[in-house]
Amino acid sequence: MSRAARKLEIVATSLADAAAAARGGADRLELCVDLACGGVTPPQTLLAQIRDAHPALDLRVLLRPHGGPFTLSRDELRALLAEVRRARELGLQGIVIGALGADGAIDRESMRRLREEARPLEATFHRAFDLLARQEEALESLIELGFERVLTSGDESTAWDGRVRLRALIRQAAERLLVLPGGGVRSAHAAALLAATGARELHSSARTGGELVDEAEVRALRAALERS
């Protein structure tokens, strides 16, 4: 895989995070708040501020109404459809979504509606994917639904621990969808993770003991991508 194709996505929950990620060399930001619960939808004011401050960055917004189970009520789905429209109006580049049905499988109807509402924005299915029992089948469903990416740790607590599964998913997806390793990704093992999985993009919170993005860690992740 060519170096030019490699991308670094950083989680940003504030203007300060976005600035540190940009200075460190991030290509893309996933925008959310409340990382303690895995992240939820950020306020529109924050999205607009980050967009205005960093017009050159690829910005993706996490659309998740609450922490806890990845199920959506009808009211929550309607609210998320409205959030998708606002993301388009703000000129963001993509959305990050995911919902499971009562059976524990992908909520295909909700995902279909959200994915179609988002076009022409790109769509990433988030780490709800790691709760799925039949990931190979789920990957095919996401391809069929028109998703461009799936964020996953390979069914383990960290992407490094899940590197064998990640490699298998990347091979299965081929060029039809991009498997984005995320979950405890750090510069110390980033190059080894890329080599072990064949991934061409990485997702990281880039937090090294504090609540804010560590610019030095972003730089180190960027360097690892460029060396690989």
**pLDDT (0 to 100) of residue 130:** 96
Coil, helix or strand at residue 156:
coil
Q: What percent of the chain has pLDDT over 90?
A: 91
Please determine, for residue 1, whether its predicted confidence score (pLDDT) is greater than 50.
Answer: no
Please determine, for residue 228, whether its predicted confidence score (pLDDT) is greater than 90.
Answer: no
Q: Say which CATH architecture domain 3-122+183-227 belongs to.
A: Alpha-Beta Barrel (3.20)
**pLDDT (0 to 100) of residue 210:** 85
Please determine, for residue 5, whether its predicted confidence score (pLDDT) is greater than 90.
Answer: no
The domain segmentation of the chain, as residue ranges, is: 3-122+183-227
**pLDDT (0 to 100) of residue 189:** 97
Q: In whole angstroms, give the CA distance from residue 112 to residue 153.
A: 23
The pLDDT tens digits for 84-105 are: 999 999 999 999 999 999 899 9
What CA–CA distances, in Å, run from 9 to 72, 73, 213? 26, 30, 12
**pLDDT averaged over every residue in the chain:** 95
The pLDDT tens digits for 158-216 are: 999 999 999 999 999 999 999 999 999 999 999 999 999 999 999 999 999 888 999 99
Closest by CA to 222, choosing from 16, 21, 1, is: 21
**pLDDT (0 to 100) of residue 4:** 46
Q: Pull the structure tokens for residue 218.
A: 């972003």
Please determine, for residue 38, whether its predicted confidence score (pLDDT) is greater than 80.
Answer: yes
